[in-house]
Amino acid sequence: MAVPGNIKGVFEVHKKLGKLPLNVVAEPAIHYAEHGLEINDFQAYCLQLLKPIIFASPEARIIYAPNGNLKKSGEILILKDLAASLKNLVAMGEEYFYAGDIAEKIIQDCREHGGYLTREDLQNYRVINRKPLTINYRDYTIITNPPPSAGGILIAFSLGLLSSISFTGIKFGDRKHLQILAEVMHLTNQARENEYHQVCPGELSANHNLQFYQQKLNNVVNKWGSTTHISVMDGEGNAASVTTSNGEGSGYMIPGTGIMMNNMLGEADLNPNGFHQWQDNQRISSMMSPTILLKNGHPEIVLGSGGSNRIRTAILQVISNLVDWQMPITDAITSPRCHWENYQFDIEPGFDLNDLATLRLPNNTKSRLWQEKICFWGCTWSSKNSEWDDIRGRG
């Protein structure tokens, strides 16, 4: 478990930007936790995916599998302990979690069961306001998550590569388009492996790095003859892109609170040097990439996604669909996607099968065509012109 920053972050944002009292903001969540809500098909599917983690915790089993079987679609989920925790947070503030009864429970259980968190870890956690990473892509200005998060800088790097490519004469989803995407994802991973630990992440997309990889991309192209998120905009021109992650959950639920802790230190993509090798007192990286697209200085589209390592490629493809292919927001999100990693090119159903047979991919890359659309591909939420879409919100 890494130190949870979500609660302090929410309080910080509310203090700086909130208009409504905190008890009003929290009221809907408290209501549904206290009185229950009906589980939908996707939530039931997620419970099945997380079954081993849920059954690792007696507290979670009581909530999600009270009769020994996981709750199913159509059944009512009630979270009485979570409702009480939310009420206490509203009444007592963030210190209720970081220095009060909840903190003591976490510290005691870590001592007894092998966790790493200490009282000092919880009490010393601070919110850091960072300057967003700004990218110019075609006619858009894109602002996204800066380092130490890796997701934003990798999206910036990928868009920098794509900016050197003309899509004239290429059809969306055809062989050339897929080859370009595969090569861009491959080169981005290569740059991360070669340079991420040698240079400041903010320098990864600097011209002297980008031009080297742009040339590699152009050389290949010329041979061819391609976690939970909320996006909100309002009528006053305000825009917010908020991504928060609990990982898959640690299997440890703080007794009596309804709160399951994260497993961020157990996420392989966030610990490239191996488990138990992280440095103390260092912000953990993430792939979370809340993103806003500006046109003429004004927010036009707000994006974000869950999906671990697929977050950055999901957002990359949605941005490219919007900007390069001029798709409506719904089409940009629902169009099929692909993802390259570790010489495996995963392809979502919906592309032209005849074109897939002729794909020429980076060296030793194996392609895999999936048979259905699932949350593996990133679950993208967007907001445009004050309308909110969760048409691909499957996770």
CA dihedral 301, 228, 2, 192 (to 10 degrees): -50
Give bridge partners of residue 134 from the DSSP assignment.
143
- What are residue 94's phi and psi, to 5 degrees? -65, -25
Question: Which one is catalytic: 188, 227, 257, 313?
Answer: 227
Q: Nearest 5°: CA angle at 250, between 60 and 120? A: 115
Give bridge partners of residue 316 from the DSSP assignment.
none
Token digits of residue 68:
């020994």
SS3 of residue 28 by DSSP: helix
- Nearest alpha-carbon partner for 266 in 251, 281, 280, 256: 251
- Nearest alpha-carbon partner for 298 in 141, 190, 79: 141
CB atoms within 10 A of CB 62: 11
How far does CA 227 lie from the centroid of its chain? 4
| Residue 28 burial (10 A CB sphere; 0-12, 13-18, 19+) | exposed
Give bridge partners of residue 349 from the DSSP assignment.
351
- How are beta strands 253-254 and 298-306 bridged, if at all? unpaired
CA distance 250 to 113: 13
Give bridge partners of residue 293 from the DSSP assignment.
142, 301
Helix or strand run (H / E) with residue 103: helix 101-113
168 is catalytic: no
- Nearest alpha-carbon partner for 2 in 129, 115, 104: 115
C-alpha to C-alpha distances, 156 to 44, 89, 141, 150, 202, nearest whole angstrom:
35, 37, 11, 10, 10
CA distance 103 to 254: 9
Q: Kindly list the catalytic residues.
A: 227
